Every structure is written in structure tokens, then in C-alpha cells.
């Protein structure tokens, strides 16, 4: 097994937004200035206050995996050669180019480096608390140590969890890791398990403490121990639900544990308010911006089955039905409330008509018009409701799951008919809502939904390899995943999709 020195992780200069709008390079722990700065509780608290923002920015970045996962799951479509959107959604699928020289290598490198940078700072905060006994006191004498610790634990869970969702293996590093020793890579299941331990600790702190986050730590509302605890529960539930690489793995999930988390999950929408400076989402901007990302016909067909699920050739325009603009039985209302019909598509025909679409999303039009200012949905109460329904489905709770679905967005926003208490109807409704209601919310939701159902197109990577740049630095053998036929990389059904939604 390949091992490496932890500090090599940061062989490339990377940065993370911390303490206001300042951009700090990744630390050198041998630097006396760093040690001095981290001896002051107010400075350490300032670092803790920037951790959720740093995680958010990494997952919502343009040069990250969010946009390519969106197109690779046939939830969005774009023929432009940006952010690996085109190549990851090529038909037939091709292997992911994991060489450092690849133009879009940054989609993996930046995400990987950004999450590890945030994890590193979260570990430092926890080290100050757990190993040095640092105490944080407010001006009025209130002990704020539980507040700082809860956010640090939440950040450790988020960063490791989102590494485990994307990569086949990574390096688990905590405040207890001896960075002078070699560290082996761990498979994604172990990474997810470690993330859950940190989220459990965050939940325990929130259940035994009272605090309110300072203004700016998370924008878009006031966050207290109750809201942070609910957020940690939902993240834990979704990590368990979204991490399976196949339907077989999905069936083997501890759904009783998922239900426990979801029952204590979000009762509100986690929607950070972007200011266009410190908080902003390129993912939600470019997936909605006119002429850029559009809605894949797979989703259009899910909402209105009169439309084709794939754009076959140049003649499709001639056979499209008239779009509905008001409630019509059997058609999802969101096709006209949340999406817009287009009279033309500006994509290049020589890159494949399968990229073409006649719809685009409109939910974030105000955010676009206001230049990155406004709320951005990441984790919704509706998502937690679906996690709860899914866990009930897998634990023989068909009637309670049916009730959640019929009281939820499928009926209230989609205007669709209520479902019966059958496993097939519940499973189909959850799949529909994750694709439509959760469209372009959290990074990768549609991809994870397709992956765990064996519905990604054949040859689509089920996860990414360690970035090629990291492999080179650590003198590790090159590898990658994806593609079809003789050139396929990785094991079918384990590393690369052997399923497909239109097979």
C-alpha cells in the first residue's frame, strides 16, 4: 500500500479564505509566526469562524467537480469545454484524464487541496482545545469553547465526508495524526465512517450546550446550537445515503442509523446568503446563466413525458410539443415555475446533439441578475424529508414514507398526484424529487442519486482517483477511472458505471 508524509499534501501552494476577506497561504507549522498567531484564543476563534465558508466555497467553486458531476449525471448539459463539463458528459463516456498537464485537472486538484486546507485548520483548532486545553471566553464572560469546538467538529465531518463522496480513497488526517510518520490511504467507506464520528461529536456538543454563532460565521440567518445540531444530523444522514457506489451498496446501508439522523435533521433550509465577495456560488451561477448550462432532457422528460429524454438529431425541434404554462394533470408544475422553455439552443452541433436541450433552470435568475448576491440553497428541509422517507422505505415503514412524500414538494410544488404506500412508488418518487426539487442545490446530489441507483451512463467514473499531481509528488502509480471497451479504466460496477438509465 502506498503511503506518504502528510505534509506533502501541501506541496503546492493553496489558499483558503479565513478571518474576513484575507487569503492565507497554507500554514507552515515550523513558522514561528504561525505558532504565535495560534497562541491567541481570539485568532483561533477567528479561524474557526471561517471554516464553514471555506468548505462552502470549495464545493461551490467553478474550477471544482460540481459542474462536471451535474452534466455527467445527465441532470444538466453543456457542450462548452469549461470545467470539464463537456468531457465528463461525452457520449460514449471517456476515461477521466488524471494527468497534471490536463487543462481541467484543476477540477479535481483544487477541490482536493481546498478541502484538505480547511481540514488542516479545523484540526489545528481542535488540537488547541483537546490537547492544549485552550478556552474561549466572550466579552461578557460566557464560555464559548463549545461553540468553537462544535464548528470545528462539523468542519472535520464536512471536509472528510465530501472527500469520501468524491474520491476512491484519500488520507484520513485528524488532530491526533502524527504527521512525522507515513500515512496510508484509506478507502472511501472508512473516510465516511471517520466523518460520521466527527459529526456525532458535533451533535453531542449541540445537545449539551447553548450558543449562538457570531454574525458572519454562516450568513443568511441566526444559527444556534439547535440549528447546527440539525445541520450535522442531516449531513450525517446524507453521507450514509449518498456514498454508495452501486445499488448493492445502497441496499446494504445502515438505514436505521440514517433514520435516526434524519429524524433529528433540518427543519429549515440551509441557504447561505451570498454577498458576491466572501460568499458566492459559481456552481449555481453557471448552471443557470443563459447560454451556458441548460437542463438535460432527461429531467425535462421526467417532468413532462411528452418531451424526449434524449436529443437524438437535428429534427427534434420539429416534433416538440407545446410547453405547458399552467397546471396540467400528469405534468410536474415545476417545469414552468422553476424552468423555462427555449426556442433555440446555441451549443455546437459537431459536439453532439445529445448535449442539446430546450429548457433551462430559472430558480437562480435573481442571484444571476444581482451578480452573485442572494440566497443559495445547499441543504434543504425537503432533502432531509427525502432522507427520512428513504430510510423508512428500507426499514419497512411504507405508510410513514408515503405520508412524507404526499405532504412534501412532489405534491405541494409539483402538483403531482399523491402516491400509494408501495415500495416502487416511494422509491420512484424519492428519485424524482432528488432530481427535480434538489436540482443544483448541494454539489453532486443528482450524481450521487444516479450512482447509487446504477443509473449513470455506462463508462461514467463512479468516483475520482487521487489527483494526478498528488500521485506525482508522492511517486505513486498513475491511475484513473472511466471509459468503455478496451480503454476502460477501473473495475465495472466498482469504479466505473456498468449501468445506465437508457440502456
What pLDDT was estimated at residue 32?
53
What pLDDT was estimated at residue 30?
52
Helix or strand run (H / E) with residue 228: helix 225-242
298/357 same-domain check? yes
Phi, psi dihedral angles at 24 (to 5 degrees): -110, 140
Please give the Cα distance from 307 to 151 (Å, whole number): 46
Please name the residue that has the C-alpha cell 499534501: 9
In a domain, 443, yes or no: no
Please give the Cα distance from 405 to 424 (Å, whole number): 13
Residues in CB range of 303: below 8 A, 6 or more apart? 331, 332, 334, 335, 339, 436
Among left, alpha and beta (phi > 0; psi -120 to 50; other), residue 184 is beta
44/192 same-domain check? yes
Bridge partners, residue 360, by sequence = 340
Please give the Cα distance from 107 to 84 (Å, whole number): 7
284: cell is 449555481
* Total of domains in the chain: 3
* CATH number of the domain where residue 23 is located: 1.25.40.890
17 by Cβ neighbours in 10 Å (0-12 / 13-18 / 19+) ranks as buried
Q: Tens-digit pLDDT profile for the chain (503 aa)?
A: 334 333 334 333 333 322 322 222 334 555 555 566 678 999 999 999 999 999 999 999 999 999 999 999 999 999 999 999 999 999 999 999 999 999 999 999 999 999 999 999 999 999 999 999 999 999 999 999 999 999 999 999 999 999 999 999 999 999 999 988 889 999 999 999 999 999 999 999 999 999 999 999 999 999 999 999 999 999 999 999 999 999 999 999 999 999 999 999 999 999 999 999 999 999 999 999 988 999 999 999 999 999 999 999 999 999 999 999 999 999 999 999 999 999 999 999 999 999 999 999 999 999 999 999 999 999 999 999 999 999 999 999 999 999 999 999 999 999 999 999 999 999 999 999 999 999 999 999 999 999 999 999 999 999 999 999 999 999 999 999 999 999 999 999 999 999 999 96
388/301 same-domain check? no
116/230 same-domain check? yes
Q: What is the DSSP letter of 21?
A: T
169/45 same-domain check? yes
Please give the Cα distance from 38 to 41 (Å, whole number): 7
Range of the structural domain that residue 122 is part of: 3-63+104-245
| Number of Cα atoms under 13 Å in the Cβ half of residue 107 | 28
333/407 same-domain check? no
Q: Are strands 273-275 and 373-375 parallel, antiparallel or unpaired?
A: antiparallel
What pLDDT was estimated at residue 312?
92
Do residues 104 and 87 lie in contact, with contact meaning Cβ atoms separated by under 8 Å? yes
Q: How wide is the angle at C-alpha 126 spanned by C-alphas 121 and 129, nearest 5°?
A: 135
In a domain, 88, yes or no: no
Bridge partners, residue 294, by sequence = 77
352/415 same-domain check? no
What pLDDT was estimated at residue 398?
98
501: cell is 438509465
53/169 same-domain check? yes
Please give the Cα distance from 62 to 65 (Å, whole number): 8
What pLDDT was estimated at residue 35?
63
Residues 317-331 as b/e (b if ≥16 CB within 10 A, e otherwise) read eeeeeebbeeeeeeb
What pLDDT was estimated at residue 33?
55
| Number of Cα atoms under 13 Å in the Cβ half of residue 138 | 12
In a domain, 114, yes or no: yes
351/413 same-domain check? no
Q: Which DSSP string do the residues of 305-330 spell out, in sequence order?
A: TTS-SS--SGGGGGGPPPPP-S--TT
226/142 same-domain check? yes
Domain boundary among 245, 280, 302: 245
CA distances from 22 to 15, 16, 47, 54, 61 (A): 10, 9, 11, 12, 18
54/192 same-domain check? yes
Report residue 262 CA to chain centroid gap. 17
In a domain, 117, yes or no: yes
In a domain, 351, yes or no: yes
In a domain, 254, yes or no: no
**SS3 state at 269:** coil
What pLDDT was estimated at residue 38?
79
Do residues 415 and 332 lie in contact, with contact meaning Cβ atoms separated by under 8 Å? yes
Residues 84-115 as b/e (b if ≥16 CB within 10 A, e otherwise) read bbbbbbbeebbbbbbebebebbbbbbbbbbbb
Phi, psi dihedral angles at 270 (to 5 degrees): -85, 95
123/16 same-domain check? yes
Amino acid at each position: 500500500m502506498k503511503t506518504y508524509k502528510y505534509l506533502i499534501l501541501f506541496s503546492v501552494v493553496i489558499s483558503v479564505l479565513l478571518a474576513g476577506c484575507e487569503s492565507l497561504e497554507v500554514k507552515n507549522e515550523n513558522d514561528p509566526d504561525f505558532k504565535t498567531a495560534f497562541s491567541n484564543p481570539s485568532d483561533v476563534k477567528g479561524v474557526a469562524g471561517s471554516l464553514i465558508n471555506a468548505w462552502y466555497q470549495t464545493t461551490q467553486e467553478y474550477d471544482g467537480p460540481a459542474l462536471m458531476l451535474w452534466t455527467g449525471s445527465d441532470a444538466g448539459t453543456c457542450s462548452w469545454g469549461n470545467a470539464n463539463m463537456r468531457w465528463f458528459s461525452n457520449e460514449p463516456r471517456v476515461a477521466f484524464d488524471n494527468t497534471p498537464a490536463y487543462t481541467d485537472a484543476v477540477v479535481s486538484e483544487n477541490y482536493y487541496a481546498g478541502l484538505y486546507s480547511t481540514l488542516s485548520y479545523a484540526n489545528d483548532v481542535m488540537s488547541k482545545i483537546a490537547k492544549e486545553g485552550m478556552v474561549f471566553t466572550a466579552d461578557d464572560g460566557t464560555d464559548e469553547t463549545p461553540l468553537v469546538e462544535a464548528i470545528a467538529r462539523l468542519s472535520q465531518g464536512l471536509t472528510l465526508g465530501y472527500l469520501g463522496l468524491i474520491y476512491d480513497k484519500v488520507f484520513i488526517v485528524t488532530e491526533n495524526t502524527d504527521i512525522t510518520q507515513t500515512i496510508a490511504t484509506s478507502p472511501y467507506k472508512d473516510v465516511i465512517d471517520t466523518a460520521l464520528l466527527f459529526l456525532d461529536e458535533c451533535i453531542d456538543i449541540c445537545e449539551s450546550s447553548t450558543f449562538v454563532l457570531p454574525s458572519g460565521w454562516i450568513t443568511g440567518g441566526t444559527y444556534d446550537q439547535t440549528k447546527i445540531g440539525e445541520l450535522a444530523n442531516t449531513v450525517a444522514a446524507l453521507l450514509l445515503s449518498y456514498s454508495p457506489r452501486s445499488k448493492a451498496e445502497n441496499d446494504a446501508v445502515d438505514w436505521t442509523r440514517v433514520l435516526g439522523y434524519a429524524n433529528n435533521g433540518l427543519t429549515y433550509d440551509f441557504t447561505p446568503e451570498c454577498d458576491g465577495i466572501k460568499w458566492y456560488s459559481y456552481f449555481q451561477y453557471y448552471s443557470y446563466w443563459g447560454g451556458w448550462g441548460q437542463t438535460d432532457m432527461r429531467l425535462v422528460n421526467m417532468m413532462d413525458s411528452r418531451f424526449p429524454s434524449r436529443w437524438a438529431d437535428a429534427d427534434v425541434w420539429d416534433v416538440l410539443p407545446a410547453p405547458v404554462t399552467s397546471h396540467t394533470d400528469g405534468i410536474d408544475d415545476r417545469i414552468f415555475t422553476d424552468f423555462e422553455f427555449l426556442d433555440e439552443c446555441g451549443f455546437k452541433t459537431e459536439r453532439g446533439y445529445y448535449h442539446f436541450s430546450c429548457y433551462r433552470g430559472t430558480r437562480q435568475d435573481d442571484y444571476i441578475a444581482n451578480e452573485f448576491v442572494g440566497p443559495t440553497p445547499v441543504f434543504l428541509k425537503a432533502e432531509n424529508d427525502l432522507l427520512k422517507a428513504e430510510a423508512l422505505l428500507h426499514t419497512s415503514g411504507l405508510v410513514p414514507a408515503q405520508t412524507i412524500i404526499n405532504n412534501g414538494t412532489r405534491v405541494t410544488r409539483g402538483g403531482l398526484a399523491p402516491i400509494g404506500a408501495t415500495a416502487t412508488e416511494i422509491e420512484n418518487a424519492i428519485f424524482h424529487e432528488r432530481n427535480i426539487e434538489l436540482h443544483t442545490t448541494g454539489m453532486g446530489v443528482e450524481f450521487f442519486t444516479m450512482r447509487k441507483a446504477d443509473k449513470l451512463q455506462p463508462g461514467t467514473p463512479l468516483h475520482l482517483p487521487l489527483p494526478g499531481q498528488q500521485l506525482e509528488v508522492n511517486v505513486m502509480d498513475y491511475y484513473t477511472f472511466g471509459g468503455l471497451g478496451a480503454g476502460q479504466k477501473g473495475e465495472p460496477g466498482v469504479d466505473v458505471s456498468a449501468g445506465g438509465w437508457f440502456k
